Structure 1
Amino acid sequence: MPKKMLKRVMPSHETVKSHKYLQIFGNLLHDPNLFHLNRRSAAGAFAVGLFCAFMPIPFQMLLAASIAILVRTNLPLSVALVWISNPITMPPIFYGAYLVGVWVTGNSEKQFSFELSWQGVVDSFTHLGYPFLVGCGISGIIAGALGYFIIRMFWRYSIVRHWRQRQQRTNETSK
């Protein structure tokens, strides 16, 4: 069942409540609905977490936590899913988002080289900024929507399968 699987991989309530960057939310973190796990809250958390994973900003976890609190989805799952974009996966994710932005805006793909300095980042952003931001937004919306609907379908499938197995066990014991 997806609920049991998700509970194994989610951070605990205490871990989320004690996270130093999430302390700015204060008493809002004490809402029990933010930690409840059901089909609606899990699907919403996937949508929020996947959308925020595509945002090219620092402190994506704060954005995910803010949105999760606002729309009242599962907070630990939303925050944990942001880590899909980590230092290893960021280059392919953001390059793919840039290509989506180039395709949508009709701009031509520009060659760039990465220089590990503040000036290098600023120069790259001035050349690639608009298609990159558009691509990140579109990719985030698509990933969030796909995550939402896939989790809802998977959860429903799992419950229907569980009901059928229970019905089958009931029929076998009544014979």
Structure 2
Amino acid sequence: MNSKRVRYKKKPPAFTGPRERFSQMLVRMRQLEGNPHYIALGMAVGIFVSITPIIPLQTVVAVTLAFLVRGSKSAAALGTWLSNPLTIPLVYYANYKLGCMMLGYQKTLDSLAFDSFSQLMELGLEVTWAMIVGGVFIGAILGVVAYFVTFRVFITIRRQSRQADTDSGSGQ
């Protein structure tokens, strides 16, 4: 057996920039199989879960929910990519602020001080609850938007694909 090792002139970059990541995501999205409703439902679930403050479990929760609602599990996993180191601080801050407003919390992290461990624990519970409430609300809105956008995109992709198949079939 004679196996050759492939050597590259340049090493692939360790970190890809936002454009490359977005481009990779679009390529992966185009490769998703299923009808537009199935894919859009999975993407909506993934986007919804990506907004909630459950970082280490987002993909597992999104795929599980996609299974339960019979959406695309691959699209759900892709949808969780919305949550990344660049967006998390903004998303979580918005979740917290909206959650505080919805729950009627008068004090926010900006104005709080604590004198004991029990006060710190109470503060942590309020912050967590505010982030969950805000995250579910924002996530639901973005999930609905993601459903309709993804649905339209995949209707267009499928139409273009059928058109390309028709054009290539008639040219023989």
Please give the range of the TM-score, normalised by the shorter of the 2 chains.
Answer: 0.5 to 0.7
Query: Structure 2: any 5+ residue segments left out of the alignment?
Result: 1-23, 113-117, 168-172
1:45 aligns with 2:64: no
How many angstroms apart in 1 are the aligned matches of 2:99 and 2:92? 10
RMSD: 3.5
What is the CA-CA distance between 1:127 and the residue it aligns to? 3.8
Percent identical across equivalent pairs? Answer: 24
The answer to whether the aligner puts 1:138 opposite 2:137 as a matched pair is yes
Which amino acid in the other structure matches residue 155 of structure 1? F
Correspondence 1:75 to 2:73? yes
1:161: how far off?
A: 7.3
- Give the Cα–Cα distance (whole angstroms) in 2 for the partners of residues 125 and 99 of structure 1: 14
State the SS of the aligned residue for 2:109. coil
Inter-CA distance 66–138: structure 2 relative to 1 (3 Å threshold): same
Displacement of 1:60 in angstroms is 0.9
Task: Measure, in 1, the Cα distance between the counterparts of 2:25 and 2:92.
Answer: 27
Q: Does 1:94 align with 2:92?
A: yes
The alpha-carbon distance between structure 1 residues 81 and 103, as it changes in their structure 2 partners (threshold 3 A), is: same
| 2:57 is the counterpart of 1:59 | yes
Spell out, residue by residue over 1:45-73, the C-alpha distance to the aligned partner (whole angstroms, 9 max, x if none).
11110011012122111101111111222
The more displaced of 72-81 and 35-44 is: 35-44
Task: Indicate if the aligned counterparts of 2:40 and 2:146 stay in contact, CA closer than 8 A.
Answer: yes
Report whether the alignment pairs 1:103 with 2:122.
Answer: no
Q: Deviations over 1:65-95 (max 9, x none)?
A: 1111112221112112212112332111011
Using the size of structure 1 for normalisation, the TM-score is 0.62
Count of residue pairs brought into register by the alignment: 138
* Aligned-partner Cα distance in 2 for 1:6–1:95: 26
Unpaired runs of 5+ in structure 1?
A: 13-34, 114-118, 170-175
Structure 1 or 2, whichever has the larger Rg, is: 2
* Structure 1 partner of 2:21: none
Do the aligned partners of residues 83 and 157 (structure 1) sit closer, same or farther apart at CA in structure 2, a change above 3 Å counting?
Answer: closer
Which residue identity does 1:51 align to in structure 2? F
2:63·2:73 contact (CA, 8 Å) conserved in 1?
Answer: yes
TM-score between the two structures when normalised by the length of structure 2 = 0.63
* Cα offset, 1:166, TM superposition: 10
Distance 1:61 1:51, change over 3 A: same
Alpha-carbon distance in 1 for matches of 2:75, 2:164? 28
Distance between the aligned counterparts of 2:61 and 2:126, measured in 1?
26
Higher helix share: 1
